[in-house]
Amino acid sequence: MTAYLDHASAWPLSGAVRAEMDRWTAHVGSPMALHEAARGPADAIAAAREQVAALSGWPAECVIFTAGPTEARNLAIKGSLAAAGADPPVIVADPLAHASTLAVARTLTRRAGEMRLSPADSIGRVSPADLVTAVTSTAGGGAMPAATGDARPEAPSDVVVITHGQAEVGTVQDAAALAAAVRSACPDAVIVLDADETAGLMPLDDGLGADLVVIGGRTLGAPPWTGALLVRPGTRLHPLVEGGLEEGGKRGGAHDVPGIAALGVAAREARAGRDARVATMRRHAAALVDGMLAVPRTRLNGPPVHDRLPGHVQVSAEGVEGEAVALAMAARGVAVSPGSACTFGAGKASPVLEAMGLDDEAARSAVLLTTGPGTTDAEVAEAIAAYAAAVESLRGMAPG
CATH of the domain at 141: 3.40.640.10
- Do 92 and 115 lie in one domain? The reply is yes
Q: What is the CATH number of the domain that holds 304?
A: 3.90.1150.10
Q: Looking at the structure, do residues 84 and 202 belong to the same domain, yes or no?
A: yes
Residue 285 lies in a domain: yes
Pair (201, 349) in one structural domain: no
In a domain, 4, yes or no: no
**Number of neighbouring beta carbons within 10 Å of residue 238:** 16
Owning domain of residue 113 = 15-272
Domain boundary among 209, 244, 272: 272
Does any domain span residue 214? yes
The predicted pLDDT at position 150 comes to 59
Residues 255 and 278 in one domain: no
What pLDDT, on a 0 to 100 scale, did the predictor assign at position 31? 84
Among residues 235, 255, 272, the one where a domain terminates is 272
Same domain as 310, residue 216: no
Mark whether 206 and 68 lie in a shared domain: yes
CA separation for the pair 262, 114 (Å, rounded)? 39
Report pLDDT for 154. Answer: 55
Whether the bond between 88 and the residue before it is cis, its omega within 30 degrees of 0, is yes
Q: Is residue 10 part of a domain?
A: no
pLDDT of residue 141: 44
* Claim to verify: residue 158 and residue 237 sit in the same structural domain: yes
Is there a single domain that holds both residue 285 and residue 306?
Answer: yes
Task: Confirm whether pTM is higher than 0.85.
Answer: yes
Domain boundary pick from 272, 298, 329: 272
Q: How many residues does the chain have?
A: 400
Between helix 377-397 and helix 322-331 the angle, nearest 10°, is 120
For residue 3, being part of any structural domain is answered with no
Which residues does the chain have with pLDDT short of 70? 138-155, 340-349, 399-400
pLDDT of amino acid 27 = 87
Task: Please indicate, yes or no, whether residues 313 and 218 belong to a single structural domain of this protein.
Answer: no
Q: Is residue 99 part of a domain?
A: yes
**Shared-domain flag, residues 179 and 71:** yes
C-alpha distance from residue 211 to each of 57, 162, 233 (Å): 13, 11, 8
What pLDDT sits at residue 33? 83
Residue 139's pLDDT is: 52
d(C-alpha 384, C-alpha 400), whole Å: 26
What is the separation, in whole angstroms, between the first and last Cα of the chain?
A: 33
Distance in angstroms (rounded) separating the CA atoms of residues 133 and 182: 10
Q: What is the pLDDT of residue 32?
A: 84
